[in-house]
Amino acid sequence: MPPRPTAATWPRASKAADDTLRVEDGFLRSRGLGARLTPPLSLVLDERGIYYDPSRPSDLESHIRRRSNAIRPDQIERIHRVIQRLLASALSKYNLSGDLPTLPAGHRILVPGQVEDDASILRGSPDLYRNADLLRRTREANPDAVILWKPHPDVEAGLRKGAVPNPGEWADVLLENVNIGALLPEVQEVWTMTSLTGFEALLRGCRVTTFGAPFYAGWGLSRDLGPVPARRLGGPRPDLAALAHAVLIDYPRYFDPVTGQACAIEVVIDRVQDGSLPSAGIPNRSLSKLQGLFASYSHLWRG
Residue 211 near residue 128, CB atoms below 8 Å: yes
Q: Quick one: what percent of the chain has pLDDT higher than 90?
A: 66
Average pLDDT over residues 198-209: 98
- Statement: residue 247 has pLDDT above 60: yes
Q: What are phi and psi of 174, to 5 degrees?
A: -100, 120
Q: Among candidates 76, 14, 116, which has minimal Cα distance to 241?
A: 76
Average pLDDT over residues 77-82: 98
Average pLDDT over residues 195-216: 98
Q: Quick one: what percent of the chain has pLDDT higher than 70?
A: 81
* Share of the chain residues as helix, strand and coil, in percent rounded to the nearest 5: 35, 15, 50
Distance CA 155, CA 51 (A): 22
Query: Whole-prediction pTM value?
Result: 0.85
pLDDT of residue 35: 42
Query: What angle, rounded to 10 degrees, do the helices at 196-203 and 73-88 form?
Result: 110
Distance CA 266, CA 275 (A): 14
More confident residue, 98 or 30: 98
Sheet holding 108-112, edge to edge: 173-174, 146-150, 108-112, 189-192, 207-210, 223-224
Least confident of 44-48, 137-141, 150-154: 150-154
DSSP classification of residue 237: -
Distance CA 61, CA 51 (A): 8
pLDDT of residue 18: 66
pLDDT band at 269 (very low <50, low <70, confident <90, very high): very high
More confident residue, 214 or 17: 214
